[in-house]
Amino acid sequence: MNQITNEVSNAVRILRETVPLVHNITNYVTVNDCANALLAIGASPIMADDIAEAADISAISSALVLNIGTLNQRTIASMLAAGKKANELGIPVVFDPVGAGASKLRNDATREILKQVKITVLRGNISEVSFVAGLNVSTKGVDASEADGGNDAVAIAKAVAEQLGCTAAITGAVDVISDGKRVIKIHNGHPMLSKVTGTGCMTSALVGAYAGALRDGLTASVAGVVSMGIAGELAYEAAGQTGTGSFHIAVINALGRLDSELMEKRAKLDEA
């Protein structure tokens, strides 16, 4: 077993022992999925996006997850308030710039969050993270564009990690995660994950749970992303032939089963 596999196997145990409270200001399309994914992995979710309490909830949480999937002016203010409070108290912040590159509102919000909030982890697809890196992108709504698929994910992840002083996690057919020094590639997952809404949002929430338990952005990112990848594989084995609805539920079931032994057995991780 290599070093990073050992680290993420221990991470599952630590998360379930500590039960971190994870504050999510997230996408209302997938908020229920994110809450259930967090419960399944052993964390405690709280979804509070009103400006009157966003900072207060962050102050009592183990981690904060900001997701701009269904963006509006009201939640931008809440994200900034929650992020600043998390920074003040040393609480890790995970940022998912959903659809960055697709509209002026998303682009401006992404830039403003990154300007005002020190993030621990940036988790997105190749188009979203390429936008943060300052590259021209052809984002396809909230999904990665095939035109951006040729971008060098390793180089972009390292560049963004160094630029922002964070861990950058680029998810795709092969996931690439870097803190600017180490580079981890993850080969888990199943194509059916892309046919169910919310799997990216759930992945960011899972990264938040591990970040709250570990306070280590790189290990948290690898653990969160590989947890969803393994869950997708197990879900396909259990229910993939039935259809996407059954597969969706099976993903949550698989996250509930995930432990150190399963992580050790199924994680497909390479460290460059």
**pLDDT 10s per residue in the chain (272 long)?**
689 999 999 999 999 999 999 999 999 999 999 999 999 999 999 999 999 999 999 999 999 999 999 999 999 999 999 999 999 999 999 999 999 988 999 999 999 999 999 999 999 999 999 999 988 665 554 444 444 445 789 999 999 999 999 999 999 999 999 999 999 999 999 999 999 999 999 999 999 999 999 989 999 999 999 999 999 999 999 999 999 999 999 999 999 999 999 999 999 999 98
Reduce the DSSP state of residue 25 to 3 states and report it: strand
d(CA 256, CA 272): 30
d(CA 145, CA 179): 24
pLDDT of residue 143: 46
d(CA 54, CA 44): 17
pLDDT of residue 150: 57
Given the candidates 3.40.1190.20, 3.40.50.620, 3.90.110.10, 3.30.420.10, the CATH classification of the domain at 3-171+181-271 is 3.40.1190.20
| pTM check: above 0.85 | yes
Nearest by Cα to 15 from 269, 235, 220, 184: 220
pLDDT of residue 2: 87
Separation in Å, CA 203 to CA 1, 61, 77, 249: 24, 18, 24, 15
Backbone angles phi, psi at 147, to 5 degrees: -65, -25
Backbone angles phi, psi at 167, to 5 degrees: -100, 135
d(CA 50, CA 67): 14
What sign for the dihedral angle of Cα 15, 65, 99, 111? negative
Are 194 and 146 within 8 A, CB to CB?
no
d(CA 103, CA 26): 18
Annotated binding site: 47, 123, 171, 198
pLDDT of residue 1: 65
* Burial (Cβ within 10 Å: 0-12, 13-18, ≥19) of residue 176: buried
d(CA 59, CA 85): 6
Backbone angles phi, psi at 186, to 5 degrees: -115, 130
Separation in Å, CA 97 to CA 11, 221, 244: 25, 15, 25
d(CA 8, CA 264): 8
Report residue 184 as tokens: 């981890």
Tell me, what DSSP letter sits at residue 236? H
What's the CA dihedral at 37, 92, 106, 67 to 10 degrees?
Answer: 10
Annotated binding site for ATP: 123, 171
Annotated binding site for substrate: 47, 198
